Amino acid sequence: MAGYVICAECGARIKANREHCLRCGEPLRGLEPPAPPLPLHEALGISEGATKLLGVVVALAVAGLAVLMWQLRPQPIVDEIAQPVGAAHVAPPPAAAPAPDSSSAVESAPPMEPVTSADATRSGSAKFSAGNYEAARNDFEQAVAKNPNDAEAQNSLGQALVRLGRIADAVPHFERATALAPDKWAYRFNLAHAVGELGQWDRAVTEYRTALRTFPSDYATQFNLAMALYKRGDLNAAVPEFEKAIALAPAEPSFHFSLGMTLEKLGRINEAIAEYRRYLDMNPIGPDAAKVKAHIELLTPTPPSTPRGSGLAPEP
C-alpha cells in the first residue's frame, strides 16, 4: 500500500514518514540494491567462448540430476509440524533462473509439483507476496492436504481466503492454526480480525485478549481490542483500552481520534474535544482536518451573551 513500509524487524505496517517502528521501536531501514555481478567469464578468469562451452556442460549435468532426484523424491511426512512464519514475514519469491543459451540443445524441464507441505507453503508464500492470491490459495490448499498439522500452511490458507473475500471460509483454518500453535501471536491476531470482520464482536474481544497475553506490547492488538469493545457497544470498557493503545504508540494520531469519538458517545464532551484537538495537533494537514475542526466548534459551548440593560442601575 502506497505511503507505508514494512518493518524488517517485526513485520508491522508503518507509515513511510516514520523514522522508527511504532511496534518494536527499531529504525525503519530501506533495502539497498545489490551491486551488479561481474560477467561470468571475468569472474572465472577464462575466455567468453570457454564460458559458453562450460555452460552447456553444466546444463546437461543439472538436467540429468534433476530427473534423478525427481524419481527418488521422498514422500511427505504427514505428522511433522512445520515451524510457523508470520504473515508479515512471507518469504520472497525465489530468483528466476537465467534463460538458457540459444546455442544449447537442452530443453528446460517442466516445473516440479511441490514435494512436501513446506514446499507448497513456500510456493504459495511467493505468490501471496506478489498479490496473486488465487494461485497462492491453491498452493496453500495443497500444503494443508499434504499435512493438516502444518500450522503455517493453515494460517497462510486463511490469509489467502481473507484476501479473496472468503472470510467465513478462512476462520476454520485460523482456528486450526491456533490449536496447533496456541502461543503464536500472529495466528491468534488473524483469527480475532476475521471473526471481527464477520461481526462476531464478543468472540473478537476474547481472541484479542488472548493475543495480548502472548504479545502485550503490540499496539495494533491493543487498538483492535478497544475497537472491538466499541463495536460491541461496551464504550466504558473501550476507553481504558484506547488509552493503553495510545501509551504503546503515542505518535499515532488516529488513536486519539478514536478515543475522542468514544468519549463523545459517552457524553464526556470536554474530554472528547481535548482528544480531537490532540489529533489535530499531531495531524494538522490531514484530509479530514477541516471536518474535525468544524466538529470541535460544534461541540464547544459558546458563553451566554449579557443582554443589554441587564446591569444594575447606578445609585442616585
> What residue ranges do the domains of the chain occupy?
1-30
From first to last of the 316 residues of the chain, give the pLDDT tens digit: 446 666 666 666 666 666 666 666 666 654 333 344 445 545 455 565 655 666 655 555 545 554 444 343 333 322 222 222 333 333 333 333 444 444 433 444 455 566 788 999 999 999 999 999 999 999 999 999 999 999 999 999 999 999 999 999 999 999 999 999 999 999 999 999 999 999 999 999 999 999 999 999 999 999 999 999 999 999 999 999 999 999 999 999 999 999 999 999 999 999 999 999 999 999 999 899 999 999 999 999 877 665 554 444 444 4
Contact 127, 118 (CB under 8 A): no
Instruction: Please state, in angstroms and as integers, the Cα–Cα distance from residue 8 to each residue in 29, 109, 204, 212, 285, following that order.
Output: 7, 36, 28, 22, 29
DSSP of 221-257 = HHHHHHHHHHHHT-HHHHHHHHHHHHHH-TT-HHHHH
Residue type for 249, please?
A
Q: Cell 534433476: give the residue.
A: 66
Quote the pLDDT of residue 251.
93
| This prediction's pTM | 0.63
Quote the pLDDT of residue 117.
87
